[in-house]
Amino acid sequence: MQGDYLYRQLDDEALVRLARLENTRACDELVRRYRGAVIVVAEQILCSREAAEDAAQETFLLAFRALPQLKEEAKFSGWLHAIARNRAQRMRRRDGRAEPTELSRLDYLRHARGDAPAVNPAEEAQRSHRRESVRALLAQMPEEAQTVLLLHYFEEWSLTQIAAFLSLPLTTIKWRMHQARKRLCRQLSRLTEEESDESIGK
Return the CATH number at 124.
Answer: 1.10.10.10
* Whether 141 contacts 44, CB under 8 Å: no
* CB-count burial class (<10 Å; 0-12, 13-18, 19+) for 11: exposed
Same domain, yes or no, for 130 and 38? no
Q: Which of 69, 100, 131 is the last residue of a domain?
A: 100
In this predicted structure, the answer to whether residue 140 has a pLDDT above a threshold of 50 is yes
Same domain, yes or no, for 159 and 201? yes
- pLDDT band of residue 201 (cuts 50, 70, 90) is low
Read off the pLDDT of residues 178-188 as tens digits, 9 standing for 90 and up: 999 898 888 87
Same domain, yes or no, for 82 and 166? no
Read off the pLDDT of residues 152-162 as tens digits, 9 standing for 90 and up: 988 899 999 99
Same domain, yes or no, for 5 and 91? yes
Range of the domain at 80: 1-100
Q: What percent of the chain has pLDDT over 90?
A: 51
Mean pLDDT across 12-22: 94
* Whether 145 contacts 183, CB under 8 Å: yes
Same domain, yes or no, for 36 and 79? yes
Rounded distance between C-alpha atoms, residue 30 and residue 64, angstroms: 10
Same domain, yes or no, for 82 and 149? no
Same domain, yes or no, for 94 and 142? no
Same domain, yes or no, for 1 and 85? yes
Q: How far is CA 123 from CA 100, 116, 130, 198, in A?
A: 31, 11, 11, 17
Q: Which of 100, 127, 154 is the last residue of a domain?
A: 100
Mean pLDDT across 85-112: 64
How many folded domains does the chain comprise? 2
Same domain, yes or no, for 88 and 126? no
Reduce the DSSP state of residue 20 to 3 states and report it: helix
Any alpha helices (H) in 47-142, and if so which ranges?
49-66, 76-95, 109-112, 121-139
Read off the pLDDT of residues 54-63 as tens digits, 9 standing for 90 and up: 999 999 999 9
Same domain, yes or no, for 124 and 94? no
